[in-house]
Amino acid sequence: MSKMTSLSDAFYDELQDIYSAEMQLVKALPKMAKKATCEKLTAAFELHLDQTKIQVERVEKAFKDTGNAAKAKTCEAMKGLIKESESAMEEEADPEVMDAILIALAQKVEHYEIATYGTLCTWAEKLGYTDAKKLLGENMDEEEKTDKALTKLSVSKNQAAMA
C-alpha cells in the first residue's frame, strides 16, 4: 500500500474501493433477485442491477478526471455485506420473512454506497474534479432513490412477515 500524502491520494483510494464495491454488487444482485419471492422485489433488484452496471461505467469515467487509471482495490466492506447476504439467503425462512430480510440486507448496501458517494462528491468538489463530482453524484442520487423504493416496499413486506 502506498502512502497517502494528500486528499487526492485518499480520493483515488476511495474511488478504487467503490469501483470494487459496485463490481461485486453486479455479481450479487442476480442472486438476491432469484431468492426474492415478491415480484416487486425481484423487479427492484433487477432494475438496480441495470443501474449498477451503469454506475460502474460512471466510476470508470470518474477516474479519468483524476488522471489515474481505473483500478479496483477490494472493498472489504462490500465483501462483508455480500457474505452476510449470502449467509442469510441460506436460512430457512417463510417467503415473506425472507423478502423482509432481503430488503434489510439491500438497504445496508445502499447506505454504505450513499455514505461513500457522499464522501467522494465532497472530496471531488474540494479537489476540482468537476466531471467526477457530476458522475458520482448521479450514482449517489440513484442509490438514494433505490433506498427510498426499498423503504416503501418494506412497509408491506414487513407487515406480511409479522404473521
pLDDT band at 2 (very low <50, low <70, confident <90, very high): low
2 domain residue, yes or no: no
Q: Give the pLDDT confidence of 55-70 residue by residue, as tens digits.
A: 999 999 999 999 999 9
CA 53 to chain centre: 11
pLDDT higher than 90, residue 77: yes
pLDDT band at 1 (very low <50, low <70, confident <90, very high): low
Residue-range definition of the domain harbouring residue 48: 7-161
Cβ-proximal residues to 32 (8 Å cutoff; 6+ apart), any chain: 45, 85, 89, 102, 105, 106
Please tell me the total count of domains within the chain.
1
1 domain residue, yes or no: no
pTM (predicted TM-score): 0.94
pLDDT band at 160 (very low <50, low <70, confident <90, very high): confident
Residue 49: CATH number of its domain: 1.20.1260.10
Q: Describe the crossing of helices 76-89 and 7-35 by its angle, rounded to 10 degrees.
A: 10
Q: Give the pLDDT confidence of 92-116 residue by residue, as tens digits.
A: 999 999 999 999 999 999 999 999 9
